[in-house]
Amino acid sequence: MDWESSVLFFFLGTIGGSFLNVVIYRLPQRLSLIHPRSHCTHCKAKIPFYRNIPLVSFILQIGKCKECNGQISPQYPLVELITGIVWSWCFLNLEGTGSVLTVLLFSTLITIAWIDGLTMNIPLKLILFVLGVEIVGCLLGDISLRKALGGAFIGVICLGLIMLLTFLLTKRQGMGFGDLQLGLVLGIWLGSVNMALTLFGASFISLLVWLGISARKGLNKNRALPFAPFLIFSAGLVFVIDFYLGVGIIQFFI
Ligand SMILES: [Zn+2]
């Protein structure tokens, strides 16, 4: 594909990201995703469509609300940017229904990662949405059933073991059942080998981040980190690396 389509898909992705921001803000508060229209979280002023252009409006307004001068969270342009890059990559590199399904999966996973990061909770509705997309993927033949079952098994069993280990080591429940459910749907999507690599990557990165925070703020055994952002970041990374290297990634690790 050419660069024009790449720009088009990036732009469509930022609009998608703009909707994800609405979900991230409203779903944990059980607010309607449709009503009311977009408004400033400080002064509640409605945002007209010409001031609601993804990325562009934030840059033009230097991150401030036009009505009350309140700070707009950098979350908004960041989610729009990430979603734009993901949509552009998927539509340029994947084919047919697989590209649409992967875009839906990635977008929902970005939302789950962000909500877990903010609230330490994974909404079941989003997990069920991912599962629904995967069932459609199995029916259309984009996800092989054998790979899905193997991945689901590895995801649930390994995460269950990590959960048990953290409980035995720290005497507190480090992970919730939301993480197990996430392990299930990630496994179905990735298959057993990539799911195992994802878990390894997520544990490694989260440990590094935990050590980094401890070095800055002092050691606190009770400091909890949301695990979904690490799992999802690692899953995306493994998915893209596997796309370029194919089975090479397995040989690299064995
Ligand atoms: Zn305002």
The answer to whether the beta carbons of residues 52 and 38 sit under 8 Å apart is yes
The domain locations on the chain are 1-93, 119-254
Ligand 1 center from residue 53 Cα (angstroms): 16
Closest CA to 109 of 72, 139, 82, 88: 82
With H, G, I as helix, E, B as strand and everything else as coil, classify residue 218. Answer: coil
Closest CA to 66 of 84, 85, 42, 98: 42
Ligand 1 center from residue 62 Cα (angstroms): 13
Report angle CA 6, 16, 40 to the nearest 5 degrees.
130
Q: What is the pLDDT of residues 39-98, one digit of tens each?
A: 898 998 998 888 889 999 999 999 999 999 999 999 999 999 999 999 999 999 998 999
- For the full predicted model, state whether its pTM sits above 0.85: yes
For 207, the enclosing helix (H) or strand (E) is: helix 192-217
| 1 has pLDDT over 70 | no
Q: What is the pLDDT of residues 4-32, one digit of tens each?
A: 999 999 999 999 999 999 999 999 999 99
* Distance separating alpha carbons of residues 68 and 122, to the nearest angstrom: 32
| 254 has pLDDT over 50 | no
**Mean pLDDT throughout 116-141?**
96
**Mean pLDDT throughout 92-108?**
95
Ligand 1 center from residue 19 Cα (angstroms): 19
Percent pLDDT > 70 in the chain is: 96
**Mean pLDDT throughout 145-153?**
94
- pLDDT for position 168: 86
Q: How far apart are the first and last CA of the chain?
A: 35
- pLDDT for position 249: 58
How many CB atoms neighbour CB 132 within 10 A? 13
The whole-chain average pLDDT of the chain stands at 91
**Mean pLDDT throughout 211-236?**
89
| 251 has pLDDT over 60 | no
- pLDDT for position 252: 55
Ligand 1 center from residue 115 Cα (angstroms): 23
247-250 long-range contacts, CB within 8 A, separation 24+:
249/194, 249/197, 250/193
- pLDDT for position 117: 95
Residues whose Cβ atom is located within 5 A of ion ligand 1: 40, 42-43, 65, 67-68, 70
Q: What string of DSSP letters covers 123-172?
A: -HHHHHHHHHHHHHHHHHTSS-HHHHHHHHHHHHHHHHHHHHHHHHHHSS
